[in-house]
């Protein structure tokens, strides 16, 4: 029996409840669920079938349609009102890989080179195979819109600015280039803007899209990855353009960013114009503390620590989830979810325990 069939939920999706919470006008007695994503291995384990996670697989129509159908069934059956989905636009990065030891493993686990990426100088920049608007494939969003049950919406995925530049140069190379080659750094951010602004404009007008959600990791445990001054110079102007596109269409702009962003939260709220913040880690800032400080100005997504979901037991997850709900739900701007995403090393029973506590809180 697929894991999802053990879940006693009768789906009644209504994305208007989710939008109300994102606009800080939610019901304090009802908290919507929202996640950035679940690894394909998790989706397959819950609904049955094989995991489709390699980008090149998704370029083939049958594989793409199967993956979308799996995702829709997974999120709908578990009681979600919206799904995060992006385009198939691909960039080439320098990656390393190793065998995967997760509880639901894939063949290999990959990560980006921190030292040196494919662009370290102007020659690399000129030779790089930059994608254009003609390379953008929105078939996955279009197909998802046709598959979605009534009441569900799509939150369109849009690339950040710092993440792709960091991956293109390598974090160490970028750190030096910010001082040694600022013109090259600026050109990279301009190129990312040139590629992604038209994409965001197109997605914001697509059927069933209700919000834009940017992923742009900008911090680590104690600070931002680059100085706040560099974020203000290079990153925030791009993010602000994407936020304006969402707002022009009357929809919220959500930001996912890992790390300690305390030094720039005022910039993100007042200048960039984010409507919701996602990615919380108890070792950095428990989600209750963030909600207490900023919950009247920005919606709050998630906060059940991934480390707890991966290594804790069911009762610990239930207890922590209840703590978060009791502290954050009164803000009317809280959406329940993990601190980051449902990775393939999260224990499935812990994920279900988190959702079940949310279901009980909502008296469903």
Q: For residues 272 and 293, give the distance between their C-alpha atoms in angstroms, rounded to a whole number.
A: 18
Query: What was the pLDDT predicted at 265?
Result: 98
* Helix ranges restricted to H, the chain: 15-22, 40-47, 55-58, 61-77, 122-127, 139-147, 162-169, 171-180, 182-204, 228-230, 236-248, 265-266, 287-294, 306-311, 314-328, 348-361
Burial of 270 (0-12, 13-18, 19+ CB in 10 A): exposed
Question: What is the fold, at CATH topology level, of the domain defined by 3-361?
Answer: TIM Barrel (3.20.20)
Q: In this predicted structure, what is the pLDDT of residue 7?
A: 80
In the prediction, which pLDDT does 262 show? 97
Please state the domain extents for the chain: 3-361
pLDDT at 168: 98
CB 337 within 8 A of CB 303: yes
Q: Is 49 helix (H, G, I), strand (E, B) or coil?
A: coil
d(CA 343, CA 348) in angstroms, rounded, equals 10
pLDDT at 54: 55
Half-sphere exposure of 49 (CA within 13 A, CB side): 17
In this prediction, residue 2 carries a pLDDT of 77
> Tens-digit pLDDT profile for the chain (364 aa)?
678 877 888 899 999 999 999 999 999 999 999 999 999 999 999 998 777 655 556 667 888 899 999 999 999 999 999 999 998 778 899 998 999 888 888 888 888 989 999 999 999 999 999 998 778 889 999 999 999 999 999 999 999 999 999 999 999 999 999 999 999 999 999 999 999 999 999 999 999 999 999 999 999 999 999 999 999 999 999 999 999 999 999 999 999 999 999 999 999 999 999 999 999 999 999 999 999 999 999 999 999 999 999 999 999 999 999 999 999 999 999 999 999 999 999 999 999 999 999 999 999 7
pLDDT confidence of residue 63? 87
From CA 290, how far away is CA 299, in angstroms rounded?
A: 10
pLDDT of residue 186: 98
Integer Cα distance of 174 and 17 in angstroms? 41
Question: Do 175 and 114 meet the contact criterion of CB atoms below 8 Å apart?
Answer: no
The token pair at 357 is 């506590």
Beta bridge partners of 334: 300
- What pLDDT does 318 receive? 98
How far does Cα 310 stand from its chain's mean position?
18
Q: What is the pLDDT of residue 53?
A: 56
SS3 category, 240? helix
């Amino acid at each position: 029996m697929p894991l999802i069939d053990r879940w006693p939920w009768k789906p009644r999706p209504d994305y208007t409840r989710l939008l109300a919470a994102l606009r800080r006008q939610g019901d304090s007695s009802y908290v919507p669920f929202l996640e950035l994503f679940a690894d394909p291995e998790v989706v397959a384990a819950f609904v049955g079938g094989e995991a489709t996670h390699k980008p090149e697989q998704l370029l083939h129509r049958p594989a793409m349609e199967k993956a979308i159908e799996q995702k829709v069934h997974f999120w709908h059956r578990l009681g979600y009102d919206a799904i995060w989905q992006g385009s198939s636009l691909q960039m080439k990065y320098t990656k390393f890989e190793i065998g995967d030891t997760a509880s639901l493993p894939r063949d290999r686990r990959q990560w980006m080179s921190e030292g040196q990426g494919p662009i370290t100088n102007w020659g690399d920049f000129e030779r790089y195979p930059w994608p254009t608007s003609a390379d953008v494939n929105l078939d996955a969003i279009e197909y998802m819109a046709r598959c979605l049950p009534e009441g569900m919406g799509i939150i369109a995925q849009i690339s950040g600015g710092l993440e792709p530049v960091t991956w293109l140069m390598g974090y160490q190379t970028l750190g030096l280039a910010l001082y040694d080659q600022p013109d090259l750094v600026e050109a990279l951010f301009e190129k990312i803007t040139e590629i992604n602004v038209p994409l965001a404009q197109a997605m914001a007008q697509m059927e069933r899209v209700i919000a834009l959600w940017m992923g742009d990791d900008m911090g680590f445990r104690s600070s931002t990855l680059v100085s706040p001054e560099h974020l203000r110079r290079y990153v925030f102007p791009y993010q602000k353009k994407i936020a304006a596109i969402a707002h022009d269409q009357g929809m919220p702009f959500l930001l996912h960013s890992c790390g300690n962003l305390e030094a720039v939260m005022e910039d993100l709220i007042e200048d960039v114009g984010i409507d919701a913040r996602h990615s919380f880690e108890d070792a950095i800032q428990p989600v209750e503390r963030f909600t207490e400080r900023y919950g009247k100005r920005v919606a709050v997504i998630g906060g059940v620590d991934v480390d707890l979901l991966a290594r804790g037991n069911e009762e610990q997850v239930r207890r922590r989830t209840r703590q978060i709900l009791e502290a954050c739900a009164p803000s009317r701007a809280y959406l329940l979810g993990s601190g980051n995403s449902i990775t393939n090393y999260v224990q499935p029973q812990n994920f279900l325990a988190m959702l079940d506590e949310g279901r009980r809180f909502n008296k469903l």
